[in-house]
């Protein structure tokens, strides 16, 4: 069917929006390239999958596919309430934490106000800002040479805030850089914000971080009523396919978020899987232990190849090369190793590489060594 142009009828902010571009499915890449037995280290998924307890719970849940899910997510909220020590009135459920970010934009942003976020921060922040026609205030990241290069510059972010600012997005750890903020610096930053500014702390990767360094921003909600903390079950919990996330906030903010939240936005299977996953903290500990070892393996292996690696508290590393990475990425894909170029973030010479199993990490390193040698000798 021939596409018809409806830009003149669309909301102007939407017509100027550049949508998020996800990576291709593994099956499609294998078909295009004529390869098999590929490994995907591109989307920061848990290589261990989900907890076996979740798999068993989903089998039982298949009997209720003809029924609508609980629109309020009572049992998952109850589990989250116990996990965080917060009342259910502080919880908003989303179809992944991505949807919660959309809710925040719908509630607090409009063409007369602004959102502040860091350069190299998660691509969804500018997307939801543009979606609402709000003003973008992207703040330069920390410079090369800084111990946390490419990370959030909180002093500069504070300097960008004015009377029009409504949302400040802070990712801790940050995607795609892996950089992080210490709990003391982040807490001081939130405490310095004026009351008309909502600080959104995105903790999608927090399970992988060192808790004594990153802290847990959800424990600060009583102290800061203008704080929102977002979490997801897509990463460490291994439930990316089911899309379950949530926000923790003051009940006054939660009430507003739930006014724009669609009914039945989280599936019944997602609600139950997340509830069961939350109870299996032994699986999370196993996943984090493997990730900690994998970070060391990738860092040492990449540096041995002459590749610079940003510090990371997440389940991926950002690898920097001395040339644009199109050819490197293409050659890796031909060998069945799928990673993530991040040129869309302005990092044309970098690849984001998810931590896999020890065997997957070793395959990545050996394949990359062969690719670099081939390119240099060509």
46-101 pLDDT tens trace: 999 999 999 999 988 888 899 999 999 999 999 999 999 999 999 999 999 999 99
Q: With respect to residue 333, please indicate whether it lies within any of the assigned structural domains.
A: yes
Neighbour count for residue 159 (Cβ, 10 Å) = 11
Number of domains comprising the chain: 2
Same structural domain for residues 263 and 351?
A: no
User: Which residue range is the domain that position 358 belongs to?
Assistant: 12-49+282-377
Note the Cα 360 to chain centre separation in Å. 22
Q: Which residues of the chain have pLDDT under 50?
A: none
Q: Where are the beta strands (DSSP E) in the chain?
A: 39-40, 91-94, 114-118, 135-139, 165-171, 198-202, 227-232, 245-249, 308-309, 316-320, 337-338, 340-342, 347-354
Tokens of 171: 């990712």
pLDDT given for residue 37 in this prediction: 86
Provide the 8-state DSSP code for 220: G
Q: With respect to residue 5, please indicate whether it lies within any of the assigned structural domains.
A: no
pLDDT given for residue 63 in this prediction: 87
Q: How far apart are CA 200 and CA 249, in angstroms?
A: 9
Q: With respect to residue 232, please indicate whether it lies within any of the assigned structural domains.
A: yes
Same structural domain for residues 155 and 230?
A: yes
Q: With respect to residue 146, please indicate whether it lies within any of the assigned structural domains.
A: yes
Query: Could you give phi then psi for residue 119, rounded to 5 degrees?
Result: -55, 145
1 SS3 class? coil
Last residue of a domain, one of 279, 294, 319: 279
Same structural domain for residues 17 and 87?
A: no
Question: 3-state secondary structure string, 90-128?
Answer: HEEEECCHHHHHHHHHHHHCCCCCEEEEECCCCCHHHHH
Q: With respect to residue 56, please indicate whether it lies within any of the assigned structural domains.
A: no
Last residue of a domain, one of 279, 309, 343: 279
pLDDT given for residue 5 in this prediction: 77
Q: How far is CA 203 from CA 30, 200, 215, in A?
A: 33, 9, 10
Same structural domain for residues 252 and 295?
A: no
Same structural domain for residues 319 and 220?
A: no
Same structural domain for residues 127 and 233?
A: yes
346 SS3 class? coil
Residue 247 near residue 92, CB atoms below 8 Å: yes
Same structural domain for residues 69 and 127?
A: yes
Q: Specify the CATH number for the domain of residue 68.
A: 3.40.640.10
Task: Quick: pLDDT tens for 212-268.
Answer: 788 999 999 999 999 999 999 999 999 999 999 999 999 999 999 999 999 999 999
Same structural domain for residues 168 and 241?
A: yes
Q: How far apart are CA 253 and CA 104, in angstroms?
A: 9
Tokens of 377: 């000798």
pLDDT given for residue 14 in this prediction: 78
Residue 128 near residue 94, CB atoms below 8 Å: no
Q: With respect to residue 102, please indicate whether it lies within any of the assigned structural domains.
A: yes
């Amino acid at each position: 069917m021939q596409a018809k142009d409806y830009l003149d009828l669309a909301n102007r902010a939407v017509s100027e929006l550049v949508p998020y571009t996800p990576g291709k499915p593994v099956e499609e890449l294998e078909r295009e390239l004529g390869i098999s037995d590929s490994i995907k280290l591109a989307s920061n998924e848990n290589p261990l999958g989900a907890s076996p307890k979740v798999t068993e719970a989903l089998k039982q849940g298949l009997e209720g596919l003809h029924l609508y899910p609980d629109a309020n997510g009572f049992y998952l909220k109850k589990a989250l309430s116990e996990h965080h020590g917060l009342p259910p009135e502080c919880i908003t459920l989303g179809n992944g934490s991505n949807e919660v970010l959309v809710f925040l934009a719908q509630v607090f942003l409009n063409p007369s106000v602004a959102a502040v976020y860091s350069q190299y921060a998660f691509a969804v922040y500018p997307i939801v800002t543009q979606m609402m026609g709000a003003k973008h205030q992207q703040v330069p990241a920390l410079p090369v040479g800084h111990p946390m290069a490419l990370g959030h510059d909180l002093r500069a972010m504070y300097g960008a805030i004015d009377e029009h600012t409504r949302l400040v997005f802070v990712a801790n750890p940050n995607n795609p850089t892996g950089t992080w903020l210490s709990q003391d610096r982040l807490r001081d930053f939130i405490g310095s914000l004026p009351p008309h500014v909502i600080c959104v702390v995105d903790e999608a990767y927090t399970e992988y971080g060192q808790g004594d360094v990153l802290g847990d921003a959800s424990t600060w909600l009583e102290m800061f009523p203008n704080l929102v903390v977002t979490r997801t079950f897509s990463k460490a919990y291994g439930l990316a396919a089911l899309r379950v996330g949530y926000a923790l906030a003051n009940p006054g903010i939660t009430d507003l978020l739930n006014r724009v939240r669609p009914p039945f936005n989280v599936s019944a299977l997602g609600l139950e899987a997340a509830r069961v996953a939350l109870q299996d903290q032994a699986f999370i500990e196993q996943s984090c232990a493997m990730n900690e070892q994998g970070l060391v393996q990738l860092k040492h292996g990449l540096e041995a190849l002459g590749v610079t690696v940003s510090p990371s508290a997440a389940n991926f590393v950002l690898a920097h090369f001395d040339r644009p990475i199109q050819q490197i990425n293409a050659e890796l894909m031909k060998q069945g190793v799928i990673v993530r170029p991040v040129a869309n973030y302005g990092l044309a010479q970098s690849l984001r590489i998810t931590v896999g199993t020890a065997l997957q990490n070793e395959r990545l390193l050996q394949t990359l060594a062969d690719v670099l040698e081939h390119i240099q000798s060509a």
